Structure 1
Amino acid sequence: MAGRSNEELEQVYNAGTPDELNAAYANWAAGYDRDTLAAGYCLPFQALAWVSRHVRPDAGPVLDAGCGTGLSGPYLNALGYLEIEGLDFSEEMLRLAGSRGAYAALKRATLREELPWADNHFAAFLSTGVFTEGHAPASSLGELCRITRPGGHAIFTVRDKIFETGGFAAVIADLSARGIWRQLERSQPFRAFALDEADVLVTAFVFEVLA
């Protein structure tokens, strides 16, 4: 991305604390969709291929974890997923997500903390572009599994640069060893932006939640 949008993306990646990250997204919220889509940001749409492959539209509520401005919501609706709930830590982004009219519920929550849903609430969770530099920690995956019912699905992307250093490899292995989930798919690394930011690579994962 060029000009102002590149500066705002850098502010997001360089945020050192949750407060700095929240401020960066608040500053970017109004232009976020325009800037990222102009750069070819594809994750909110690409991940729906894995959702439709593994999750029936009538399976139950689906959580869009780190929904941002809600880009995925209308397209999930178009595929028949009508029970979508979303979480994000940015009030400004949630306000934009709510304006799309695609979500049954939206909650302000932080993935590094306990989430405001009961055990086994969701049939699946989807999280794209969230497990990246300076964002939600790998430990969030255990909490997301807690609120996903046995037989449900975990669908998420992880930035390649932090897969080992951010503890994702270790957490994924631990959840597997403890029988919390089993892996169904792991993609090859692919670009999060189709046009710009060629070095931003992610891997998509699909797990079946077991307990």
Structure 2
Amino acid sequence: MSHEEKALDRVYAAKSPRELERAYADWAADYDRDTIALGYSLPFVIAGWVARHVPHGDGPLLDAGCGTGLSGPFLKALGYDDLVGLDYSREMLDLAGQRNAYRELRQAELGTTLPWPDDHFAAFLSSGVFTAGHAPASSFDELVRITRPGGHAIFTVRDLLLEDGGFSDVFRRLEDAGRWRRVEESEPFRAFVLAEPEVKVKAFVFEIG
């Protein structure tokens, strides 16, 4: 097993938020090189869905679980210059800040109360965050709260967790409550082009109600 695969396994094996925070803190310096070596594509692919659904100049865009900010420069190149990043890891946020793509970076934990008012963002995106040992399905209550009506939720979820992790139940609950409506749902696709062929995700787009 390669160094990068061992680091990835440690992240997936985290049993608590503190274990996950420590795993990412230890991995932060090598994260970009290691994930690129594995063919990790989600921070780049998600920009395509953003470009399809969010007009330029609509308002601030939240990158929820931004990590080292891999999505930031690509979104900025596509014309999204009001980017805000959120992540649990201070070490990852420090690296994201060096990309000069984010207007603001905040340390916060998905699944808890987030530090923004209601209806603040035009949209939020999140790639590779809703996976094994990471942010819970309950995170969407707060993410929807801070996104304005008519805005968009654009994110990926590990396919195996849709039922087992309670994501499908949360999606239905928010739809039934009129808090969002489904706009787009992809087929499962690989998160890593070169490794981990069993790790597949689905991309979702919802419009906030």
Amino acid at match of 1:171: V
Displacement, 1:96? Answer: 0.2
Q: Who is 1:30 aligned against?
A: 29
Is contact 2:64-2:125 (8 Å) kept? yes
Q: 1:43-96, CA deviations, whole angstroms, 9 ceiling, x for partnerless residues?
A: 001011110000011110000000000000000000000000000000000000
Paired residue type of 2:68: T
Q: Would you say 1:108 and 2:110 are equivalent positions? A: no
> Within 2, Cα distance between the matches of 1:54 and 1:4?
37
Matching residue of 1:57: 56
For 1:126, the equivalent position in structure 2 comes to 125
Tell me how far 1:3 sits from its aligned partner. Answer: 1.5
Equivalent position of 1:162 in the other structure: 161
Shifted more, 17-26 versus 2-11: the winner is 2-11
Distance apart, 1:4 and its partner CA: 1.1
Task: Report the TM-score when normalising by structure 2.
Answer: 0.99
Q: Superposition RMSD on alpha carbons, in Å?
A: 0.6
Distance 1:3 1:185 in 2: 36
Where in structure 1 are there 5+ consecutive unaligned residues?
none
Shift of 1:41: 0.5
**What is the alpha-carbon distance in structure 2 between the residues aligned to residue 59 and residue 41 of structure 1?**
29
Which whole-Å CA distance do the structure 2 matches of 1:163 and 1:14 have between them? 18
- 1:10-159 equivalent positions in 2, closer than 5 A: 10-159=9-158
CA shift at 1:12, angstroms? 0.2
Matched residue SS, 1:47: helix
Task: List runs of 5+ in structure 2 lacking aligned partners.
Answer: none
Tell me how far apart the structure 1 counterparts of residues 123 and 30 of structure 2 sit (CA, whole Å): 29
* Secondary structure at 1:58 match in 2: coil
Q: Displacement, 1:132?
A: 0.3
Q: Post-superposition, which runs of at least 4 consecutive aligned residues in structure 1 deviate over 2 A?
A: none
Question: Amino acid of the residue matched to residue 35 of structure 1?
Answer: D
Letter in 2 for 1:63: L
Report the identity percentage: 61
Number of aligned residues: 209
Q: Which residue of 1 aligns with 2:192?
A: 193
Residue 112 of structure 1 and its aligned partner are, at CA, apart by: 1.3
